Structure 1
């Protein structure tokens, strides 16, 4: 569809250095001339960008850029808040589930704990500019977090670990898996249930060697992408 092509090109331009957050897109008339398309096509393309939380229509002020696609480098471990970077971008954390469970064989092996040990299970999602963008299931050994509660995870998890608990994070082992979205993922992120997604399986390691989390991260493709530059030796 033509409006999708226009939307993708506008999105690329917004993500580039051509525009900054807070700037205004060219007028509707200018966009019509630039892309040689109808007014309806331009309006549909803009509406798609609104849904992605990238632009906002303001009465009498045109269309303002309020966010960019998050591009995550595979060369460093950072929190979502650190990826967002721009203070003008609104980031919220919503917790769906917070429970204590017993580690089964798989969890015990991944977290390097004993079978049956208590583990926190946290399911939360993140909204970027009010758009649900990241779905996250985390498993964290209770022995490391004697005072953890829901409020601890309503902000950046890494900030809580490093600033509140004084943990030193070394890094994470990350694997990728292709999955079909669950019904709850589809409801939360507004996904097509028939479209496969890429999920990151991340095992976080402290500098003393302890495993501090096992997290399954699923991102809405339109709002977050991953980029890895491979250097030829």
Structure 2
């Protein structure tokens, strides 16, 4: 339950419903009709995703980004990074939805076994009508037994949580520049061989199993990447 509350608060922040300070815990309890413990767990999630600052004795404040003129992709958000982008939600055009066998290169990229069967979902994503990214996602069939046509049109992560109570525990993200192929260039309206900002991600369950890995090519103008860290005394 707290995941849904956290997701709703995140969307409220990203759509500027909350721009300075969040309501008090008491007010959020009344708003969502849940326990104070549920609200506190939800706020912990939102805080961990880099959207809030705790002020002792005062409450939770929305972190204001310095690059207000740019669209920001928050790499700290672990539900469905691309649907949680500022200014979203993203809209999808599904290009491929099928099952394939992972070759050596794909298996290495996703930390899965060679020849394992994976769902493949290839989508163009749009933000406010403008082409945002090309996303290639993979879901191991031995972990994710079933995806629906409807889920790949919207939020696959939300479907997995609702259908299988499957939520990510840890993620690995690697940002790099990648040359695009002729086919990718045609889809992204760029030139073959262009260097494109690219994000490789792997998402793990608490058991350590990979349930999703992806590669996303970004073409949206003035895109900024943001991530949140906490200082840890060593």
Q: TM-score range by the shorter chain?
A: 0.5 to 0.7
Tell me the CA shift for residue 110 of structure 1: 4.8
Partners of 1:101 and 1:200 in 2: how far apart?
22
Give the unaligned 5+ runs of structure 1.
1-19, 21-67
Structure 2: distance between partners of 1:217 and 1:83: 13
Counterpart in the other structure of 1:93: 92
- TM-score normalised over the length of structure 2: 0.60
Deviation at 1:176, TM superposition (A): 2.2
CA 1:111–1:191 in 2, change beyond 3 Å: closer, same or farther? Answer: closer
Distance verdict in 2 for CA 1:115–1:193, change over 3 Å: closer
Farther-moved stretch of structure 1 (106-115 vs 117-126): 106-115
Aligned pair 1:77/2:50, yes or no?
no
User: Closer, same or farther in 2 for the Cα pair 1:188/1:69, shift >3 Å?
Assistant: farther
Superposed displacement of residue 133, structure 1: 0.6
CA RMSD between the two structures: 2.9
Deviation at residue 185 of structure 1 after TM alignment? 2.9
Does structure 2 conserve the Cα–Cα contact (< 8 Å) formed by 1:125 and 1:135? Answer: yes
Query: Which one has the largest radius of gyration?
Result: 1
Unaligned runs of 5+ in 2: 1-15, 17-68
- Cα gap change, 1:186/1:230 in structure 2, threshold over 3 Å: closer, same or farther? same
Cα distance in 2 between the residues matched to 1:189 and 1:223: 16
Change beyond 3 A, Cα 1:231–1:212 = closer
- Partner of residue 189, structure 2: 190
C-alpha spacing 1:117/1:220, structure 2 compared with 1 (3 Å): same
Q: Which residue of the partner structure matches residue 136 of structure 2?
A: 137
Cα distance in 1, alignment partners of residues 191 and 110 from structure 2: 32
